[in-house]
Every structure is written in C-alpha cells, then in structure tokens.
Amino acid sequence: MLLRFPIKGYHRGFAAGDQPPQTSPDLKNVRPLAGGRYQGGQRPGLEKTFNQQIGGAPFPVVAIVEVATLKD
C-alpha cells in the first residue's frame, strides 16, 4: 500500500472510499512544504507559549531530560 502525504490538506465529510485524492480527514499541526519535493512539516506556532526565556548567555540550555521518582 502506497501512502502519500496529503498535500491538498484537510477535507472532512466523505466516506473513506470517497475521500478526495491527496487529502486527509484528520490532520493536526502539519503543513506541506515544497523544497524540490513535497514532504510534511510541523506548522509554526502563532504565539509564544511562555513569556519567560530559559537559558541564554551565560547559561545556555544544553539538555532537556525527564526525571521520575518513586515513593515507597
């Protein structure tokens, strides 16, 4: 089965067999990018999530990790 990126975007309201070519009934935060070929890319944000900046000179962010602890 050949699956292609839905470069014509989001299209809802059709049965699976009647879906228009190169569309998808379910897309989240993606957009097609043309750089010589079509491929998927993440949609850029519309605004900053947080106002506070982390890192920066002289303390750049070098790693982001998740830490979990277990209590008895």
- Give per-residue pLDDT as tens, 41-60: 777 777 877 787 777 778 88
Token pair for residue 52?
Answer: 């506070």
- Quick check: is 13 in a domain? yes
- Quick check: is 33 in a domain? yes
Residue 25 has pLDDT above 80, yes or no: yes
Can you give the residue range of the structural domain that contains 34? 1-43
User: How many domains, the chain?
Assistant: 1
According to DSSP, residue 18 is labeled G
CB 40 within 8 A of CB 7: no
pLDDT at 34: 63
